[in-house]
Structure 1
Amino acid sequence: MDEMDLMKKLRDVPSPDAEAYDRARTALQAAMAEPGSTVVRPKRWMSWPKVSAAAVGAAAVAVAVVMATTSGTTPAGPSDAGRSEAAPQAVVESPLVKLASEVKAAGTLPGDASLIIGTKPAPDGTPYVYYTVYSDRGQIFKGDSPKTLASSVAKNDDQAMPFDAKVMAAARLAADGDVEKARTAMVTPAGNALGLGLSPAEADKAWADAQAEMAEEFRKIGKQVPAPRPRPTGKELENLINNHLWSNSTYALFVGAANTDVRAGVLKLLATIKEVTVAEAEAGGKRVLNLSASPDILGGDASTVLTLDFDNGLPISNEIFPAKDSKTPSKHAIVTYRSSRVTLADVAAGKI
């Protein structure tokens, strides 16, 4: 079974592209190995040939629940979110906010869709190139070559899921100015297991219900059910919130970067994470912005540097660095990106 056939087994799971699946599968593995943990492992690259199609489908279903409970896909209840460490950070001083305003003011280039060409290391170390098109109407088409991408568009093989619509809507909301509301929406596209906006009692119930759902999914795939654990609070809570604000925002960027509103909104949202540092640098003869995310918000096993074009905010690369003190450090990896505006008609005709 080739990679594209395998990924088609994941249609019923949010964000079923190759990169998002890697994140999700790693979260499931972490939950199985460390049932007492409440943090998510950073992104790794799975070895697809070692996993059967049936196992992938079952694991993916469980992942959707695990990410809502173990890795903090959802934020915390008001008793925790109201604390200073969980509150949205000021964004006015970040160069990302200035860049977002410039991106928004520049307007949208011609075309009706965003094309992202990503290159990452395959399990055997060779480059794996994948293509993603996000249309202005919210459709998502994928392929592992211009030919398979063209076929996907021509057949209207729209792979967008509700999760995609939610994160893109959150990005657009941030671009339009309501960053605080957009921040909540970007952290909660898969549910509210941690009870944001609920009373303490309601938040505890939401957490318990989510754990019960997760336990059922573990039983379905024949895995040991993790022991129940209390709802995260304090710094642990903040890290979970930031983890998924980063993960979901960058997911939106890596799918729809050439869409002006999506890109501008993601820039504003990333600016609210205090653990993310922004530095100007030079790469390949051009000015760039390096966004560094600490191990605190990546599960402790790695840090990452997201490199953006200084002038337009388009993603250039995302580099993972293993955490030296981790018992299970992630492998070093670099994903590179090329973004452009296209028309669906041109893509269907193989003109990209």
Structure 2
Amino acid sequence: MKNLRDVPSPGPEAYDRARAALRTAMGEPVATVVRPKRWFSWPKAGVAAVGAAAVAAAVVLATTSGSVPAGPSDAAPPAAEAPRAVETPLVKLASAVKAAGTQPGDASLIVNTKFGLDNKPDLYYTIYTDKGEQFTGDSEKSLVNAVAKGQGEPATPYDGKVLAAARLAANGDVDKARIAMITAGNNALGVGLSPAEADKAWADAQAETAEMFRKIGKPVPAPRPRPTGKELENLIDNHLWSNTEHALFANAADAEVRAGVLKLYATIPDMIVGKTTVDGQAALTLTPPPAILGGSADVLTINAGNGLPIREEIKSETGQRWVVNYQSSRVTLADVAAGKI
């Protein structure tokens, strides 16, 4: 997409249609790892090919709108209630983060450096303002230019929902926040719905996907059965992990968002929290169970003192490896416009 600067950004409807198509093409309802769009760089290709692929992949990789409703039709779908959050290391850290408060500024900046299969660094800059506007760039210069020219974009409804869910968790209602985070993309998983409502959610998702494939002239995929039991639980936790991760990467420097993210991570069953050091600083590693990631491995490393993301390492089932380093800070838009980052 960086090579397509003259191509206008797709609208919300295009994103919705692309999401519907790609999530099915990716094989849902099998549990899939959902990637934030900023992890990826796109190969050179024709405008049409890159435009279509990038729009579709960026949306699905940035969100978790699965197309899988819940449970058998004669039973109520799960409410995805959070396990009781005891004083785990993540909960303790969340309390300390919230108590410390957010640093001065009117926006949060996150700089990520992605190392892909070729091990070459790819930088990406994102500013999320306290007013809900986003600025992006692939260098300090392009970010400064975007801010100086006022080329921000309103945050998407999805961004607003995941951040609101994180704030809700930070302020105490973890059970409600967990459901809100899981369903931030939509509630096609049927979380907390009645059997009839879950049936309708499934039917609507299938219809949306079929219509998208018809519009692009592709064969309509065969309807998929609804998952149940452990498969459904894993899908729910997959969406929780992915949506929560998106909230962290979108606005990590906001203490309230970060505290809520930590509390929500603490509710994922079998999450492994380890201790390590990174460049001399104490850190924690968060490793979700592979079952919720479709067999892939994902290790998120955060600062043990403030919860800020430091690094993420992802390994696919086939052994492919990606590493992303993160730097998060509070900034003032006026300073950024003046070239001070």
TM-score by length of 1: 0.84
Match of 1:162 in 2: 157
* Aligned: 1:264 with 2:256: no
Tell me the secondary structure at the aligned position of residue 232 of structure 1.
coil
2:139 aligned with 1:145, yes or no? Answer: yes
How far apart are 1:80 and its partner, in Å? Answer: 2.8
Deviation for aligned residue 1:4:
6.6
Q: Distance in 2 between matches of 1:68 and 1:202?
A: 17
Mapping for residues 24-173 of structure 1, pairs under 5 Å: 28=22, 31-32=24-25, 34=27, 37-41=29-33, 43=35, 48-59=42-53, 60=55, 67-70=64-67, 79-82=76-79, 86-121=80-115, 124-159=118-153, 160-173=155-168
What displacement does 1:126 show?
Answer: 1.6
Are the equivalent residues in 2 in contact too, given 1:32–1:224 (CA < 8 A)?
no
Match of 2:326 among 326, 337, 344: 337
Cα separation, 2, equivalents of 1:138 and 1:33: 30
* Aligned-pair CA distance for 1:274: 1.0
Structure 1 residue matching 2:97: 3-state secondary structure = helix
C-alpha contact (below 8 Å) 1:141/1:157 kept by paired residues: yes
Counterpart in the other structure of 1:313: 307
Q: Deviations over 1:195-253 (max 9, x none)?
A: 22321011111111111101111222233322111222211111111111111111111
Q: CA shift at 1:58, angstroms?
A: 4.3
Counterpart check, 1:351 vs 2:332: no
Shift of 1:64: 5.5
Residue type of the alignment partner of 1:39: A
Per mean C-alpha deviation after superposition, the further-off stretch among 224-233 and 160-169 is 224-233
Question: Alpha carbons of 1:14 and 1:218: their partners in 2 closer, same or farther (altered >3 Å)?
Answer: closer
Q: How many angstroms does 1:67 deviate by? A: 4.9
The alpha-carbon distance between structure 1 residues 9 and 122, as it changes in their structure 2 partners (threshold 3 A), is farther
Once residues 32 and 336 of structure 1 are traced to their aligned partners in structure 2, the CA distance between those partners, rounded to angstroms, is 29
Structure 2 counterpart of 1:79, one-letter code: A
TM alignment of 1:192-203, pairs within 5 A: 192-203=187-198
Q: Distance in 1 between matches of 2:298 and 2:10?
A: 26
Work out which of the residue numbers 211, 214, 217 in structure 2 matches 1:216.
211
State TM-score, norm by structure 2.
0.86
**Higher mean displacement: 262-271 or 196-205:** 196-205
User: Given residue 69 of structure 1, which amino acid in structure 2 is its aligned partner?
Assistant: G
**CA distance change for structure 1 residues 39 and 12 in 2, over 3 Å: closer, same or farther?**
same
* Secondary structure in structure 1 of the residue aligned to 2:177: helix
Q: Which residue of 1 aligns with 2:275?
A: 280
The 2-side partners of 1:113 and 1:343 are apart by 6
CA shift digits 1:90-120 (9 cap, x unpaired): 2214211100000000112111111101000
Contact 1:257 1:315 in 2 (8 A): yes
**8 A contact 2:311–2:324 mirrored in 1:** yes
Question: What is the Cα deviation at residue 122 of structure 1?
Answer: 5.0
Residues 175 and 7 of structure 1, relative CA distance in 2, 3 Å threshold: farther
Aligned partner letter, 1:98: K
RMSD of the TM alignment (CA)? 3.1
Show the counterpart of 1:9. 9
> 1:147 is paired with a residue of what secondary structure?
helix
Any unmatched runs of 5+ in structure 1? 324-328
Q: Distance in 2 between matches of 1:6 and 1:340?
A: 30
| Higher alpha-carbon deviation: 200-209 or 309-318 | 200-209
Distance 2:132 2:30 in 1: 32
How many equivalent residue pairs? 332
Q: Which residue identity lines up with residue 314 of structure 2 in the other structure?
A: I
8 A contact 2:309–2:326 mirrored in 1? yes
Unpaired stretches in structure 2, ≥5 consecutive residues: none
Show the counterpart of 1:226.
221
* Preserved contact between residue 70 and residue 226 of structure 2 (Cα < 8 Å): no
